[in-house]
Structure 1
């Protein structure tokens, strides 16, 4: 096992760069932190290398499926390659992937239009995973799914279901050709979600925290839905709304 002690080591600099979206996009890699996330990642073919702080023992629950390299690092290095105030001391570098979608098998979709808050994105990925959604699609203007805050919020769901990026207009046309109903979310020109029946297949679109789903996208859906507000709040958090609708719509 290699042991890196210098914070100026070239590999440490490479790991640190992965905290930047620009470098994640350039390299096709991203970094994750924490025992639980790494354990989930190791069930896939995504893990390239693992870094463990010198005072931490590798968990027995980790199954080293593809024998990634393991490097011992110092606490100072942990602080450099972590985006948290209290690093957990265990990290992994993973490869980004772009799954192939098969509409004959994957029939329940969550689409995000311009959602930017990392916590909301991660929570919706995690909720989609729990609700048995087949694919999450990130539209233009949405945040980066490999942002460390998104990854922490999703709690390992990145490794459970496909997450892709793409043009939502194109996806809507594809769904319509495949007979998959498309539901938007809006406070205007919409019907209560309980006026539609749960279904075997659907595509649900949720939008930006402030602006909602773009009007040009709402104009292309089969039906737009709203969740009634019974109290004094003006609206629901987008992640909460997505959770309610995903669980209701699935048959």
Structure 2
């Protein structure tokens, strides 16, 4: 196993570049950090191309054997790779998976949600609720961004997540499509759960693109009984996903 002691090492520089979305898109690779995320990637059969470890003994030997190449690093190198103040000391370069999306029956559609915490929470909830696909409109936060990965708690590896044109996807989807809107919408608890559905959520400030809302089966809202102006999109999406699942 190669020992890397300098952050200027070419492999470390290449891995560090993957912190940028443009580089992830270009290479089809992503950098993940932490014992839990690496373990979830391993359990989901995600290809681990490189594994960087401060203390190899703290990581399951099955994961070490599974990775294509392994490197021992020091704290200084870990700090260069990490986006956190106190790095855990485990990093992996993974190959982003590709998916067949044609058979999905319960789908979350996301129109330009930009807060990483919101997107990660929605991915985690969609996983918990048993949905089988998430489709992101261009302009949505990247699911392989560090903050999204951490908020998802590894759920990003548990179900297909793709970026696609929502208009095109909605036109071909065989099922009911529920939008979320404040006006001209039915209270969600007046709608029965269905087997085949897509739930459309929108940008934190602007909501869903009106052109997309015009193509839905039914638009829903969540009644506000107190003085709050609205619900956070991740909370609203979570309530609606579980309601539609029944």
Deviation at 1:96, TM superposition (A): 1.3
1:109 to 104, 107, 110: 107
Is the 8 Å Cα contact of residues 56 and 89 (structure 1) preserved in structure 2?
no
Structure 1 vs Structure 2 CA RMSD: 1.3
Output one character per residue of 1:140-179: Cα deviation in whole Å (capped at 9) or x when no partner. Answer: 221111111111111111111000110000111011xx2x
Output one character per residue of 1:84-141: Cα deviation in whole Å (capped at 9) or x when no partner. Answer: 11111101111112211132xx210000001000110111000000000010110122
2:229 to 220, 224, 234: 234
Deviation at 1:6, TM superposition (A): 1.4
* Residue of structure 1 equivalent to 2:165: 167
1:243 to 238, 242, 246: 238
Output one character per residue of 1:218-247: Cα deviation in whole Å (capped at 9) or x when no partner. Answer: 000000000001111100000000000000
Work out whether 1:149 is the aligned partner of 2:144: no
What are the ranges of 5 or more consecutive residues in structure 1 without an aligned counterpart?
none
Deviation at 1:48, TM superposition (A): 1.2
Is the 8 Å Cα contact of residues 46 and 157 (structure 2) preserved in structure 1?
no
Structure 1 segments (4+ residues) deviating >2 Å: 55-68
Distance in 1 separating the partners of 2:186 and 2:63: 48
Is the 8 Å Cα contact of residues 201 and 250 (structure 1) preserved in structure 2?
no
Distance in 1 separating the partners of 2:88 and 2:100: 33
* Residue of structure 1 equivalent to 2:2: 2
Richer in helix (by share):
2
Is the 8 Å Cα contact of residues 108 and 133 (structure 2) preserved in structure 1?
yes
* Residue of structure 2 equivalent to 1:47: 48
1:224 to 212, 219, 222: 219
1:15-164 alignment runs, 5 A limit: 15-43=15-43, 44-53=45-54, 55=55, 57-60=57-60, 62-63=62-63, 66-103=66-103, 106-164=104-162
Deviation at 1:58, TM superposition (A): 3.5
Is the 8 Å Cα contact of residues 113 and 139 (structure 1) preserved in structure 2?
yes
Output one character per residue of 1:204-231: Cα deviation in whole Å (capped at 9) or x when no partner. Answer: 0000001100100000000000000111
Output one character per residue of 1:52-76: Cα deviation in whole Å (capped at 9) or x when no partner. Answer: 01x4524237445744211001100
* Residue of structure 1 equivalent to 2:194: 199
**Secondary structure in 2 matching 1:93:** strand
**Secondary structure in 2 matching 1:94:** strand
What are the ranges of 5 or more consecutive residues in structure 2 without an aligned counterpart?
none
- Total equivalences in the alignment: 245
**Distance verdict in 2 for CA 1:59–1:146, change over 3 Å:** same
Distance in 2 separating the partners of 1:62 and 1:138: 33
Q: TM-score, normalised by structure 1?
A: 0.94
